[in-house]
Amino acid sequence: MLPSAQILSIVFRSNALDKLNTGNIKMNMKTEQKKMKGPMEGVRILDFTHVISGPFSTMLLADMGAEVIKIEKPGEGEFYRAEGTKNEAGVSIVYPNYNRNKKGITLNIKSSKAVELLKKMVAKADVFVENQRPGLLASIGLGYEDLKAINPKIIYASISGFGQDGPYARKPAFDMTIAAISGLMSVNGIEGTVPTKTGAAFSDFISGIYAALGIVAALRKRDKTGEGSYVDVGMFDSILSVLDDFIPKYKVTGKEPTRFGNRRAGFAPVNVFPVKNGEYVYIAGSFQKQWEALASLIGREELITDPRFKDNTGRKQHEALLESIVEEWSLTKTSQDAVIELEKAGIPCAPVKGIGDLFKDEHIQARNSIIECDYPGIGKYAMAANPIRISNYQQPVERAPMLGEHNESILNELLGYTADDIVLLKREGVI
């Protein structure tokens, strides 16, 4: 039996080692956190998409660390590389916006060798994303069932105008036609004028976001079950899901929503108001407390008790008159002064900015919400950053690939093709 002094010495040394080890573990954890790569690291995605919805979807995942291999046709590349707005040097200024952080390879899918090559890539991939016309890829042996037979764990995501089934499935779809048929256009614009599409291609971006979400969910399911999945996202369905409360309101009331432009249904005064420097400020006196604060701010406290304006029902009925009263005040202010006074009074407001103003916005600069990279033929190229911020992870900012830029490296490293093999593929028009 050890003497008590030795026992105590061992205990003390043990405790000291425990503390040291605990400290080392914590330090190692911190080191690992600093080294942490993207949450999608280790996921390989084959991107067989074009235009906006598909490329935007896969770019979001590339931002999160996924390896995304963009597949384009040789010679001209995808639509926005060939047809998008170009600078004086003839370089598309649209394509790079949806394809950062990706690798690029060319495949002539009309070639049977290219189809077989793509299938070999599928065997080593986790996800395949496409936004071609429904049925097109299945007709050449690249449908979900075809790829599932090669790789049962594959996640196959299709983005289309109306989904893969239903009476509209084969209809051609563009953002503006989806806006029209989905009801979005009917509620957008100024009352009494023609229905209006949105400035940005919302159906493309929203369906792209949903596809990325569906892919992540399918990967999570695969982690649990070991099974792959088919993800079907329609632009039409995507817009229906963001139609505010118009669908349930119509079901309950039977009344079609009207276009109310910059106003807000059920609340007043809410609109864009001109200021004296020729600009505009958006003012939202929606809730009773906000309206009363606005009336006091513009020096018209008597309106608070005026029967016409005492509640939102009355204010909506006399909306034009009320807006003219607020405008009398706004026209005496610059946009900066108006915003300062409105914010101090607790009234929701914002200056109406142009796109050029965003580059000078201090909040955007503080959060790096606009990022830049160098792009051949363009120079400095600016893009909106991925809005998802994850602690201990710095999103990469790698420019979009040049056409076929990674042909050799992908074919060699992923499939083991030699330099001679690749030369032959080029000669045969496969890549």
Which one of the listed residues 175, 204, 232, 237 is annotated catalytic? 204
Count CB-CB contacts under 10 A for residue 290. 21
The token pair at 258 is: 């009207």
Does residue 204 carry a catalytic annotation? Answer: yes
Count CB-CB contacts under 10 A for residue 309. 23
Pairwise CA distance, residues 376 & 4, whole Å: 75
Are 119 and 83 contacting, i.e. CB atoms less than 8 angstroms apart? no
Return the closest-CA partner of residue 279 out of 219, 335, 238, 361: 335
Residue 333 CB-half CA count within 13 A = 20
Residue the block writes with tokens 């051609």? 172
Burial (0-12, 13-18, 19+ Cβ within 10 Å), 250: middle
Count CB-CB contacts under 10 A for residue 138. 15
CA distances in angstroms from 121 to 52, 127, 150, 159, listed in the order given: 24, 11, 10, 21
Burial 94-121, CB ≥16 within 10 A → b, else e: bbbbbbbbbbbbbbbbebeebbebbbeb
Q: Which residues contact 95 (CB under 8 A, 6 or more apart)?
A: 77, 78, 80, 81, 84, 400
Pairwise CA distance, residues 259 & 203, whole Å: 19
Active-site residue numbers? 204
